Each structure stands twice: as C-alpha cells, then as structure tokens.
Structure 1
Amino acid sequence: MSLPYAAHATCAIVRYSKGVIGRKKKSTGSGSVRAEDLDLAQVEQENKSSEAASSSGSKAIDPKVTPPKGRPTPSRKQQEAARRQPLVPADRKAAKAEEREAARERRLREQQAMRTGDERYLPLRDKGPQRRYIRDFIDARFNVGDVLIFIMLAVFIAGMFIEPLRVWFTLMMWVLLGAFFIDSWLMWRKLKAQLIAKFGEIQTGSGMYAFNRVMMVRPLRMPKPQVKRGEFPRL
C-alpha cells in the first residue's frame, strides 16, 4: 500500500469516526433537553396546582375572614324595635282571661302535688331532696306535736269550767310545752346528723322547716305525708 492511500484511508476513518460520534452527541443532547423541559413543565404545573389548593384551603379555614351573612346587619334602632313589646296588650280582657286561666292551672297543679308529693309542681320551699328527706323523717316518727294541740285545747276548756283545778291545768300546759321543745330538739339533733351524713351539708332554712312541720298535726301537714309511721328514709 502506498503512503497517499494509507493517509487517505486514515483520514477517512478519522472523519467517519468523528461524524458518528458527533451525531450521537447531538441526538443525545437534544433528547436530554426535551426530557429536562418536560420535567420542568410538570414541576411548574404541580407547584401551581398546590398553590391554588393551599390558597383555596386557607380561604376556607381562615378564622379572620367572616363569611357573608346574605343580609345586611340590622341597625341599633331596628334591633330595639324588634325587642320592644307593648306594655299594654291590645285586648286587655283576653289577656286577663289568659292570665287567670294560667294562674288557676298552676294552683291546681300545686294542690295536686301537695297531695301526691310530685316534685315538679311543688312550691319552691318544698322542693329538693333535703326537703323530702325532712318530711319523711318527721312523718315516720311519733312527735309530741302530733297531740300537743288537742291536749292543750282539752286542758284549756277544762280549766274554764273546773276552777279549783285551774292551777294544775296551767301547770300541765307548761309541762306539755316543755316536752314539745325537748322532743323537737332531740328530733333536730338526730335529723341534722343524718342530713350531713347523706347530703354533706344542710340546706338553708332546714331547721325552721322541720320545726314548722313537727308543730303541725299529722293530718293537716302539707305536703301530705307519703310514708307511714316507722318508715324512716334511708341514709
């Protein structure tokens, strides 16, 4: 092989190898650019969608933004006019009739509750578990006050007609009064201990409430006794 031919072949081979390598680099570069462009576009689209979702979510849960009410806020005069009611009703007779009917129904419910002991319609002074416990405790025991009025009335009438025994009748009345106060004190002492043991405290006015009930004759007590003698309430 001559030298010019060898040089020509070598150059051809070098040119061929450079051309092939150049085409591969050109195609590889264009493909990578397109992939990078697609990736950047996809990332930008995802960022936009996430920003839109976060902005909409922040608008929905933002506590500082007050949603519209759909109506204008009434002025102060309008609010006062809406709350204002006439002092005198248009139909006084009808209003009085309704008031009397409501009062009559309320009295009937209270009277029924006084007989049955229904807590819902009892007067305020008789409501509550402590008041019920006091009534049941007093009604279950024998009290001197149960017979005090009858004995004192009999002694008083006898003293009017039997003058020689008037002094003795008077002394008997004082003895009965003393027995009543001693019995009431013993009753309250025991009842107070049971109230503290059951409820932890004593409701205001319980002592006077128990004293007024123990003074009254059993058939005349209101509310009516709901227990028999000996049926003491449980602790």
Structure 2
Amino acid sequence: MTWNPFSKDKDKEAAQKSVDSELNEPEEQEGKGRPTPKRKVAEERNLHPIVPKNRKADRKAAKDRIRKKEDEQYEAMRTGDVAHMPRVERDPAHIYARDYVDARFNLAEYFIPVIFGVMIFGIIIALKWPALYTPILMLSYVYMIAAIIDIAVMWFKLKKKLIEKFGEKSVGKGSRMGSYAWGRALQLRRWRVPKPTSKKRGNWPK
C-alpha cells in the first residue's frame, strides 16, 4: 500500500460532497406524486394527544352530554316511552314488577302524606286539644304497621310470580328487585316515574 499524505483531505472532501448531494437530492416520491415525509414529520402526524388541550372545556362538554342524556331518559319515563328509558327500566322483569305494583291498592302509598300530616297537625292538636294527641299518635302507628304488613304481602306474591316467569335471577341479590318494588309502592300512584301504563288499578300484568 502506498502512503498518500493528501488522502485524509481527499476523504473529507469526498464525504462532504456526499452529504451535500444528499441534501440537494429531491425527496422520494410517495405514491401519486407526493413526497415521502421525513421520519420526524411522520411521527408528528401520527401522534394523538392522550390529554385534551383544554381539560375544562372537555369536562364541561362531557357533563353536558350526560345531563342531556339524563333529561331525555327522564322525559321518556315521564311520558311512558319505554324504548328510551334507562336500561334497568326496559328490563322485562322490572316492567312486570312496576305494572304489578300499579295494579293493586297499596296502603303504603299514603305513608309519606300521613306521616307529614301527623307531624304538622300533631303540634296544633297537642297545643289545643292535648287529650287527642295520644290517640291520634297511636292511630298513626297502627297505620304504619298495617302499611308494612301490606307491602310485605305484596312483595311475597310478586316475588313468587317473578320467579315463575323470569327465574330466580330476577329476584337475586344483584337485581335489587325488592327495593325497586317497595320504593314504587311507597309513592303516590300519580307521582310514580316511570308513569303507570294504565290509568286505573286492576289491570294486572300477564
């Protein structure tokens, strides 16, 4: 091998020319006459931010969507539109349960008005007619006990029918069917939501 004192300079010059030529070369074409994007540009193009730019606006928009959906579902329950009610209200077992509760006369339906009336008028009676306060209070207790017994009988019969029609899972622990039926029976019929499918009592579900 012959040593050339100028070889290093020539190598550097050749390398520099190679770099310059690469920089001056046109970008490769990417289908349909478009230039192939550089790696950095391609990565930035495919990058999707995990966190939204404006968190406050995003949270507000999410709340507005939830509120709108809840309003639509409540309106559906108020008007009896089963197709747009919440999922639990569209369940056949729940539909049967509320139709059963709506069909019967429930003593517990007047529980809240009676208790509220006793509290208000009890004070007046205690001040003007103290002797009547104790009998009225006793009558209110009798009504409460009778209402509890009536609602327990209702649930016993309803539970049996639900098992026959929909199986044990319809009254299982996760279904909360008992609290659903009891809660509806405690409401005045005209104030129930979803509203009763029949205007009158006695129309029992099949």
Distance 1:104 1:224 in 2: 21
**Structure 1 residue 106: deviation in Å?**
0.6
2:184 is matched with: 213
Q: CA deviation digits over 1:75-125, x for unaligned, max 9?
A: xxxxxx97x852322354653454244223212211222213334432344
Identity %: 37
User: Which letter does structure 2 place at the counterpart of 1:185?
Assistant: A
Bigger Cα Rg: 1
1:172 is matched with: 139
Relative to structure 2, which stretch is displaced further, 165-174 or 196-205?
196-205
Distance 2:102 2:115 in 1: 21
Q: CA deviation digits over 1:32-65, x for unaligned, max 9?
A: xxxxxxxxxxxxxxxxxxxxxxxxxxxxxxxxxx
Partner residue of 1:86 out of 35, 38, 49: 49
Q: CA deviation digits over 1:164-213, x for unaligned, max 9?
A: 11111111111011111110011011111211221122342111111111
Residue pair 2:76, 2:82 contacting (<8 A) in 1 also: yes
Partner residue of 1:196 out of 163, 180, 192: 163
**Structure 1 residue 135: deviation in Å?**
0.7
Call closer, same or farther: CA 1:147–1:100 in 2, change over 3 Å: closer
**Cα root mean square deviation, aligned:** 2.6
1:182 paired to 2:152: no
User: Which letter does structure 1 place at the counterpart of 2:98?
Assistant: R
User: Which letter does structure 1 place at the counterpart of 2:142?
Assistant: V
User: Which letter does structure 2 place at the counterpart of 1:224?
Assistant: K
Call closer, same or farther: CA 1:90–1:208 in 2, change over 3 Å: same
Q: CA deviation digits over 1:121-145, x for unaligned, max 9?
A: 3234433001111111111111002
1:233 is matched with: 205
1:61 is matched with: none
Call closer, same or farther: CA 1:85–1:184 in 2, change over 3 Å: farther
- Structure 1 unaligned residues grouped into runs of 5+: 1-80
Call closer, same or farther: CA 1:89–1:145 in 2, change over 3 Å: same
1:115 is matched with: 78
Moved over 4 A (4+): 91-94
Pairing 1:103-142 to 2, within 5 Å after superposition: 103-142=66-105
Aligned residues: 154
Q: Give the TM-score, by structure 2 length.
A: 0.65
Distance 2:90 2:167 in 1: 18
Call closer, same or farther: CA 1:85–1:142 in 2, change over 3 Å: farther
Residue pair 1:156, 1:169 contacting (<8 A) in 2 also: no
1:3 is matched with: none
Q: CA deviation digits over 1:2-28, x for unaligned, max 9?
A: xxxxxxxxxxxxxxxxxxxxxxxxxxx
